[in-house]
Amino acid sequence: MRLALVDDDTSIRENLKILLSIYAPDCRVIGEASGVKTGLDMLKKEKPDVLLLDVEMQDGTGFDLLSIYGELDFKVIFVTGHNAYAIKAFKYSALDYILKPVDPEEIEKALKKARDLINLEEQRISVSTLVKNRDRPEDQKKIVLKDTEALYLISVSEIIRCEAQGNYTRFYISDGRMLTITKTLKEYHQLFENQSFFRSHQSHLINLVHFDRFEKKEGGIVFLKDGSMAPVSVRKKDALFKALESLN
């Protein structure tokens, strides 16, 4: 594969090239740049298969570069020392990222995904979601969900609830769809933290935007606006009421 590097730290670029020569000998670095402007010029000239991209640079961000470049004809792997907020943004968009300092195993994993020829249309949707989510308020953000057969772009506000199915998570969407995604409920609980979602039970994550009523029978049950229901564990009941109050 033909790789390009964009990072404003020369030492990081040099370290990446060393790691790539050792752990990805079938890859060749055909271009590198230190910022948004030089990165754009390099990408248009070299046309890489994969771009390893920094987030924060002196003349802008990696997001700026992608926005200006337009329609992507390469895969993107973010290489970042950025904070948890940025990592959450990558997860929303189903994009790959590597944390600095770079772990050789992580770069091997990321490049293996690239070798598996991730569909470029999926990549474009993912990048577009990441860039647009930066300017959206929390209640208007979108998330990329993938099952074994397709990719879906869903408004977070349209998710009614999530239910654990072993190592999978079943999403219930307001239009009646049910999507079974190959990630655990714990991951989505962490992703939706500080939003309108509430973990009512070990196996249930509900979106309180769709809350209809709470009934005390059988220990406690939440009814959602689509007519579905989710149990509330005894130790979560008080926290549920507090969460509902905070929405008002």
| pLDDT tens per residue across span 181-236 | 989 999 999 999 878 999 999 999 999 999 999 998 877 999 999 999 999 998 89
- Domains and their CATH numbers in the chain: 2-133 (3.40.50.2300), 147-247 (2.40.50.1020)
Write out the two tokens for 66: 């992608």
Q: What is the DSSP letter of 56?
A: E
The pLDDT value recorded for residue 119 is 60
The pLDDT value recorded for residue 219 is 75
Indicate whether this model's pTM tops 0.75: no
pLDDT band at residue 151 under the 50/70/90 scheme? confident
Listing from the earlier edge strand, what are the strands of the sheet with 75-80? 28-33, 2-6, 50-53, 75-80, 96-99
| pLDDT tens per residue across span 88-134 | 777 767 678 888 889 999 999 888 888 775 566 677 778 788 888 88
Of 18-32, 33-47, 136-150, 198-212, which gets the smallest average pLDDT?
136-150
Query: Can you state the angle between helices 120-133 and 62-69, rounded to 10 degrees?
Result: 120
| Long-range interactions of 133-141: CB distance < 8 A, separation 24+ | 133/89, 133/92, 133/93, 134/63, 134/89, 138/195, 139/196, 139/209, 141/92
